[in-house]
Amino acid sequence: MVVVIVIVAIVVLLLLLLMFGFNGLVRRRNRVDNAWSQIDVQLKRRHDLIPNLVETVKGYAAHERGTFEAVTNARANAINATGPAQQAQAENVLSGALKSLFAVAEAYPDLKANQNFLSLQEELTSTEDRIAYARQFYDDSVLSYNTQIQRFPTVILAGMFHFEKRDYFDAAPEETEPVQVQF
């Protein structure tokens, strides 16, 4: 009788460990997915601001066609990127193109004083800050998730239920800084 109670207790304990381990993995995976969606929201906001910014600058510097095309192409590539690695690379190219656009704007004092341009500049700077925060939250969530799927005993559950390692939003440090716009 005592042996049966011990066996039942061990089985119940193992089932509880399995349940808590699995639920913890699901919670962390969902946190990573949520963090990625937050990055996506902020990047979409950034992508939506760029055409307005380009049009504003075009009004003052119409002959800078190459710069405008570079920004437009970089934006299109960033919109179509999938996954953290490809998205990070596309966003880095877009950041570089935006830096070129703001360098063009430096040469036009009337543009620097334009209220619409200043408003767009402020919105973009705010969005860049939000993107930086969302990237940090995503990478922290990925760290927690990846650590959990590699720890014992959840590594067994992770393998059984196909919880796979997630990629960080990797980008070169100098390329992930917000676009600096100074007039």
Written as one string, the DSSP assignment of 2-29 is: HHHHHHHHHHHHHHHHHHHHHHHHHHHH
Angle between helices 115-150 and 83-106 (to 10 degrees): 160
Cβ 167 vs Cβ 85: under 8 Å: yes
pLDDT given at position 178: 56
pLDDT given at position 173: 54
- Cα-Cα-Cα-Cα dihedral sign, residues 180, 37, 53, 121: negative
What residue type is assigned to position 112 of the chain? Answer: K
pLDDT given at position 162: 95
Residue 46: CB atoms within 10 Å: 22
Mean pLDDT by 10 residues, the chain (183 residues): 94 94 96 96 94 87 84 94 90 91 83 84 92 95 97 93 92 54 44
pLDDT given at position 182: 46
pLDDT given at position 176: 47
**What is 53-72 written as a DSSP string?**
HHHHHHHH-TT-HHHHHHHH
pLDDT given at position 111: 80
